[in-house]
């Protein structure tokens, strides 16, 4: 199993959820649409055009200005622009949301707001990076980092809403189905399924490093919502493993925050979600492509996973990757 197949499986699961627009799912789409497609009329960034109307999506910079509640790991209520709130209220019949489905179908908008494909792919990537970090910090080697990345990719798959995650069990069941389908043995399956079923243990007591890694990977990616400056490192398990490695941990978190801010760009997300045949591969290639004065922009991350990513990096640059670079003006 390669990670891009994991992402394909994830995307199929999302489609399945989206096709089931009843009950809770219907509520999800009402909210999701409000959160994803925001502002009709004026804004700084004109991304999507729908005949006579310009439809705009909130820029990630606006996320940074939201109230920070990272300490609870809650996602903040989305702050509506006044006019958007009115639009949302006036479309109780779902007409506006229908428009969003059309936009997703036309590949003009990502299917989800904060918990979409980009979050899933980055969390998978962070689990791979953290598997190496944990080892560097003296912890035992993770026996199958790819399965752990799979767990990372699936940790939000069954979500039907943003905000508090009530769907850890359902997401873990989806992972269980995938691993059984791929004939992973029962003992191994249950170990990896547990990492997402109990990703955020209520008593704060983790039972395995795999569980800690998935937790830390998800926790790091909250930077996409609160921004680098509002993010608190104290909830990351690995920062307390070795006092002598505080500088390394700080630099690592800075690199991760930098990569999140680049890839959270709505045009990047939309392009990869809809046009890439290898979302994970394109993201990894981007990680290695970005340079500052001829040197890697992410020296710690790339140094940690270079050997693991050799196969991905050898792939001839696909059309979608070239488009990605042009979106980023590289």
Burial 230-266 (b: 16+ CB within 10 A, else e): bbeeebbbbbebeeebeeebeebbebbbbbbbbbbbb
Q: How many CA atoms lie within 13 A of 133 on its CB side?
A: 32
Q: In whole angstroms, how close is the CB of 173 to Fe ion at the nearest point?
A: 16
119 vs 285, which CB is nearer to Fe ion? 119
Neighbours of 219 (CB within 10 A): 22
114 vs 139, which CB is nearer to Fe ion? 114
209 binds Fe ion (CB under 5 A): no
Q: In whole angstroms, how close is the CB of 155 to Fe ion at the nearest point?
A: 6
Give the helix/strand (H/E) hosting 247. Answer: helix 246-263
- How far is Cα 237 from Cα 212, in angstroms, rounded to an integer? 7
156 vs 273, which CB is nearer to Fe ion? 156
Q: In whole angstroms, how close is the CB of 325 to Fe ion at the nearest point?
A: 27
Q: In whole angstroms, how close is the CB of 36 to Fe ion at the nearest point?
A: 16
76 vs 84, which CB is nearer to Fe ion? 76
Instruction: List the interface residues with Fe ion, window 243-272 (CB under 5 A).
Output: none
219 vs 309, which CB is nearer to Fe ion? 219
Q: In whole angstroms, how close is the CB of 218 to Fe ion at the nearest point?
A: 4
- Using only C-alpha atoms, the chain has a radius of gyration, in whole angstroms, of 19
Q: In whole angstroms, how close is the CB of 69 to Fe ion at the nearest point?
A: 15
Q: In whole angstroms, how close is the CB of 225 to Fe ion at the nearest point?
A: 10
Neighbours of 308 (CB within 10 A): 16
Q: How far is CA 195 from the centre of its chain?
A: 17
Instruction: List the interface residues with Fe ion, window 211-240 (CB under 5 A).
Output: 218
Q: How many residues bind Fe ion (CB under 5 A)?
A: 2
Q: In whole angstroms, how close is the CB of 276 to Fe ion at the nearest point?
A: 21
Site string for Fe ion, 160-199 (x = CB under 5 A): ----------------------------------------
Site string for Fe ion, 137-166 (x = CB under 5 A): -------------------x----------
100 vs 215, which CB is nearer to Fe ion? 215
Burial 15-39 (b: 16+ CB within 10 A, else e): eebbeebeeebeebbbbbbbbbbbb
Number of H helices, E strands in the chain: 17, 5
Q: In whole angstroms, how close is the CB of 154 to Fe ion at the nearest point?
A: 10
127 vs 230, which CB is nearer to Fe ion? 127
Unique residue bearing structure tokens 């690199």: 255
- Torsion angle defined by CA atoms of residues 259, 260, 265 and 271, in that order, rounded to the nearest 10 degrees: 80
28 vs 321, which CB is nearer to Fe ion? 28
176 vs 218, which CB is nearer to Fe ion? 218
**Please, which residues have CB within 8 angstroms of residue 263's CB and are 6 or more apart in sequence?**
118, 122, 269, 283, 286
With beta carbons less than 8 A apart as the criterion, state whether 178 and 9 touch.
Answer: yes
Cα diameter, the chain: 59
With beta carbons less than 8 A apart as the criterion, state whether 147 and 6 touch.
Answer: no
Interacting residues toward Fe ion by CB under 5 A:
156, 218
């Amino acid at each position: 199993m390669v990670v891009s197949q994991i992402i394909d499986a994830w995307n199929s699961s999302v489609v399945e959820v989206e096709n089931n627009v009843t009950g809770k799912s219907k509520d999800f789409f009402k909210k999701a649409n409000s959160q994803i497609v925001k502002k009709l009329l004026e804004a700084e960034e004109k991304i999507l055009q729908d005949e006579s109307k310009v439809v705009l999506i909130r820029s990630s910079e606006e996320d940074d200005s939201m109230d920070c509640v990272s300490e609870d790991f809650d996602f903040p209520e989305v702050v509506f622009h006044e006019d958007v709130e009115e639009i949302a209220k006036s479309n109780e019949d779902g007409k506006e949301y229908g428009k969003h489905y059309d936009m997703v179908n036309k590949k003009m908008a990502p299917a989800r707001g904060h918990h979409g494909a980009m979050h899933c792919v980055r969390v998978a990537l962070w689990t791979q990076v953290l598997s190496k970090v944990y080892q560097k910090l003296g912890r035992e080697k993770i026996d199958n980092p790819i399965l752990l990345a799979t767990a990372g990719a699936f940790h939000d798959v069954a979500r039907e809403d943003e905000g508090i995650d009530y769907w850890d069990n359902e997401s873990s069941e989806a992972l269980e189905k995938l691993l059984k389908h791929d004939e992973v043995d029962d003992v191994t399956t249950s170990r990896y399924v547990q990492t997402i079923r109990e990703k955020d243990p209520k008593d704060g007591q983790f039972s395995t490093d795999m569980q800690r890694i998935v937790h830390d990977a998800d926790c790091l990616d909250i930077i996409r919502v609160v921004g680098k400056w509002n993010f608190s490192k104290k909830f990351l398990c690995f920062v307390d493993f070795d006092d002598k490695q505080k500088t390394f941990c700080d630099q690592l978190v800075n690199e991760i925050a930098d990569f999140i801010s680049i890839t959270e760009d709505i045009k990047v997300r939309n392009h990869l979600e809809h046009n890439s045949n290898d979302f994970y591969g394109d993201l990894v290639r981007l990680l290695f492509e970005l340079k500052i004065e001829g040197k890697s922009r992410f020296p710690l991350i790339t140094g940690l996973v270079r050997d693991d990513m050799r196969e991905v990096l050898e792939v001839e640059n696909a059309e979608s990757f070239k488009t990605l670079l042009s979106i980023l003006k590289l």
